[in-house]
Amino acid sequence: MEELKSDALAEVAAAASSAALKEVEVRWLGKKGRLTALLKGLKDLAPDERKLRGKALNLLKKDLVEAIGSKGAELQRAEVEASTEGEWVDVTLPGIEPAAGGLHPLTQVMEDVEEVFRGMGYHVMDYPEAEDEFHNFESLNIPADHPARDIQDTFYLTDGNLLRTHTSSGQVRAMRNLEPPFRAIFIGRVYRFEATDASHEHTFHQIEGLMIDRNVSVAHLRSSMTQLLAGVFGRKVEVRLRPGYFPFVEPGFELDLRCMVCGGKGCPVCKNSGWVEFLGCGLVHPNVIRAGGLDPSEWEGWAFGVGLSRLVMMKYEIDDIRWLMSGDLRFLRQF
């Protein structure tokens, strides 16, 4: 029995790998293993001897199972250590930069414009994109038979409302919401059912400015326009003012900007004229003041509406307005 035990334990001790140990286990404890055979043979012995040998064999089996268990753990530890010995981490390697998004150029310029006007004491308001005819047209002195109401220019909704065609739709809302005198801007998306080209989109952004006070003049309007342009472009820009007709202002003007995409030489953005139509403005028509619930003999005002999309184009020299709403990452990654 002692010899058997020392044989078995010697084999366990000599096993150099988990696989070799497994073989030792099979050789002794497997179905046809040495110890298994001895245990099976017990049944042929006389009862007294069976009892004696059975006890000794079971003790041997217990010792062997224990020895195999602890040798197995030891071998496994060594094997894991050996397999990771050649592996290492270089903590000085530069990391992988996570992909980060950025603000759309329209949003960036929108925020710049808001800051310029907040600094001058303007309220920044937000009005609905889905509007009713009253706010988009009637209240602005645009009667039902005016061409701007033509079904071809306006996207009508099935419920009889429409997608605002300009931010001027907020003028009467502002007059009814704010206590005069006040100055406010409202920025947002507007929609027109029109053919697109390098400078025209069906969906674009405008900034509306509105000031209501006593004794308002065109000089106030001009100086605010100049401040807007200086604040947004941060450099001197060339502009020209010409008379313009909008039913909701009197007098009305249109302001053009020297095309910054081509420097005035002529390109598809300015349609080879060297100038880009940039904003409409004027003194608020008395009918609009009245629609806003104010007395036009006491209150006057001026208003302007800028094409924000065109402003972004001029600022970054973008040669086609359709890039702005394209969602094209090759374009957006440049900002």
Rank residues 21 and 106 by Cβ distance to ligand FA5 and give the closer one: 106
Residue choice 136, 141, 154, 206 for contact with ligand FA5 (CB under 6 A): 206
Closest CA to 138 of 179, 181, 168, 180: 168
Binding mask 154-173 for ligand FA5 (x = CB under 6 A): ------------x-x-----
Residue choice 185, 304, 314, 323 for contact with ligand FA5 (CB under 6 A): 304
Q: Which residues contact 231 (CB under 8 A, 6 or more apart)?
A: 112, 113, 115, 116, 119
Q: Which residue has the tokens 């992988």?
A: 96
Closest CA to 169 of 122, 212, 137: 137
CA angle 115–116–120, rounded 5-degree value: 110
Q: Is 187 in the site for ligand FA5 (CB under 6 A)?
A: no
* Buried/exposed code over 26-45 (b: 16+ C-beta within 10 A; e: otherwise): eebbeeebebbebbeeeeee
Rank residues 150 and 194 by Cβ distance to ligand FA5 and give the closer one: 194
DSSP letter at 99 equals: P
Rank residues 206 and 224 by Cβ distance to ligand FA5 and give the closer one: 206
Stretch that binds ligand FA5, among 1-9, 42-50, 194-202, 211-219 (CB under 6 A): 194-202
Q: Is 127 in the site for ligand FA5 (CB under 6 A)?
A: no
* Contact (Cβ atoms closer than 8 angstroms) between residue 177 and residue 193: no
Rank residues 35 and 140 by Cβ distance to ligand FA5 and give the closer one: 140
Residues that bind ligand FA5 (CB under 6 A): 166, 168, 192, 194, 200-201, 204, 206, 246, 249, 252, 277-282, 303-305, 307, 309-310, 321
